A = this chain, B = another copy of it.
Amino acid sequence: MERTISDLWLKRRDIVSDGFDDALTYISKIIPLSIVEIPTGTECWTWIIPPKWSLSEGLISSGSEVVLDVSDHPLHVMSYSQPIRKRIKKEELMDHIYTYPERPNAIPFGFSYYENNWKFCMQHNKLAEFREDNYDICIDAEFTEGTLKVGELVIPGKNKQEIVLVAHLCHPSMANDNLSGVAVLIGTALELLKQPQNRFTYRFLFLPETIGSIAYLSQREHLIPNMKYSIIVDCVGHNDVLSLQHSRQANTELDICASYVLKEETLMYREGAIGEICGSDERVFNGPGVGIPSICISRSKFWGRGEWPYPEYHSSDDIPNIIVIDNLVKTKNIIIKILDTLNKNYLPKRNYKGPICLSRYGLWVDWKKDRKLNMSLNDIMCSLEGGKSVLEIAKETGISFSDLFAWLDKLHKEDLLKMQSGVSD
């Protein structure tokens, strides 16, 4: 995962661009991606696919010396800037300079995909160097017909119902946002490809944020009814705890499952309602007229409550160095565990009447060995009516999913239980 990040990091992965295409090609050498292409100008619901943007030069010069050059850092020119070449008054130039005063040594990430504009982005501290009255500026950018591309990998399950896993691959020269998510999903896919067939079909998507989801779903509306859940993975490498943003529906099996796994597997984590932590592709997947329950896994702070996601967010400081490799591994494991729990979860339905004669079937649990399970047996025996999943019963009784799953498995072997699937079927 480390390698993917360092290899792709400095690529100009603008939303329709050669850099983005290169990154997809790179990934398809690791996992078997197919590429979906949607041409410039295509109407996608209320959106239109923008043209491909290619930047060959970006300069500010005082005449005597070059003050700023995009070849020094890809962020120096705002993504999708209009081409321009002229001598300009300092005053006018300043209207087209974008800085982060709060982080004066970092270059901010600027973009303007849908409004015609041009901008140079630079360190706030660099402003002091602009002492001349006039500057020569040049942005040599080309807008051409292209295709927005989405990398897609489907791992078929027993069931046509899908869990969609999404990471956005755009955002030039940033590492944590979101090559961290991309790397984690590549790792997740590699692991799932090795597993025997699962209950659900998994669909991995690598795409440009927002417009990529809109393009993909609007052109493939027939897929939506089979999309049971989606998981958006976003900014998961930096040094912070995991954050779970719930779906708009808030209390689906996936929500319960993810919340449960995070509680069991991590010491600390954030949990928030939709809009409180992220504002990414769940806005499309869980959005109007689509409505697929979508959780986000990230390490971002509460953006919806006014917090900054992480200090280096959307700036030239978002470099591979801020990523803790172990955080990527842990995130991947959490996602695998969530999928695994979803996979195993079922609706147990009793085959008995009255409390079971536990000793007769070797089902007795000594309270000296497991007081909690012992004290919960009666509640568990009363919960197996087919309406609650193993996960819900685990949550209600406070017994771990795996302990409960194991105890119920004994009942199943004694024919005291029917395993109804159907929670998500």
Contacts and interface: CB of A to CB of B under 8 A. Distances in A.
A275 B378 contact: yes
Contacts of A214: 354-355
A353 B44 CA distance: 9
A196 interface: no
Given A248-B382, A378-B275, A382-B248, A114 B354 contact: no
A115 B359 contact: yes
A284 interface: yes
Contact of A114 (B218, B279, B284, B357): B357
Interface residues of A, number: 40
Contact of A288 (B210, B352, B357): B352
A378 B304 CA distance: 11
Nearest to A381: B288
A369 interface: no
A379 interface: yes
Interface string A331-366: 000000000000000000010111111011100000
Given A355-B287, A356-B46, A275 B350 contact: no
A196 to B, nearest CB: 34
A304 B359 CA distance: 21
Given A275-B378, A284-B355, A382-B248, A289 B350 contact: yes
Contacts of A284: 354-355
A283 B355 CA distance: 7
A46 B279 contact: no
Interface in A280-296: 283-284, 287-290
A375 interface: yes
Contacts of A248: 382
A179 B355 CA distance: 24
A353 B114 contact: no
A360 B45 contact: no
State the number of copies, please.
Answer: 3
A315 to B, nearest CB: 18
Contact of A283 (B304, B378, B384): B378
Contact of A360 (B46, B218, B379): B46
Top 5 A-B pairs ranked by shortest CB distance?
Answer: A289-B353, A47-B357, A45-B354, A114-B359, A46-B357
A48 B356 CA distance: 11
A217 interface: yes
A416 interface: yes
Contacts of A359: 114-115
Most chain B CB inside 10 Å of its own CB: which residue of A248, A283, A354, A360? A354
A381 B46 CA distance: 13
Nearest to A305: B375
Nearest to A210: B355
Contacts of A375: 275, 304
11 contacts: A45-B352, A46-B354, A114-B359, A214-B355, A279-B378, A287-B353, A288-B352, A288-B353, A288-B381, A289-B350, A290-B354
Interface string A363-388: 00000000000010011011011000
Contacts of A217: 354
A353 B381 CA distance: 45
Interface in A408-425: 416
A98 to B, nearest CB: 14
B46 A352 contact: yes
A416 B353 CA distance: 47
Contacts of A46: 352-354, 356-357, 360-361, 416
Interface in A9-37: none
Given A275-B378, A360-B114, A352 B47 contact: no
Contacts of A382: 248, 287-288
Given A275-B378, A375-B304, A379-B275, A352 B115 contact: no
A114 B359 CA distance: 7
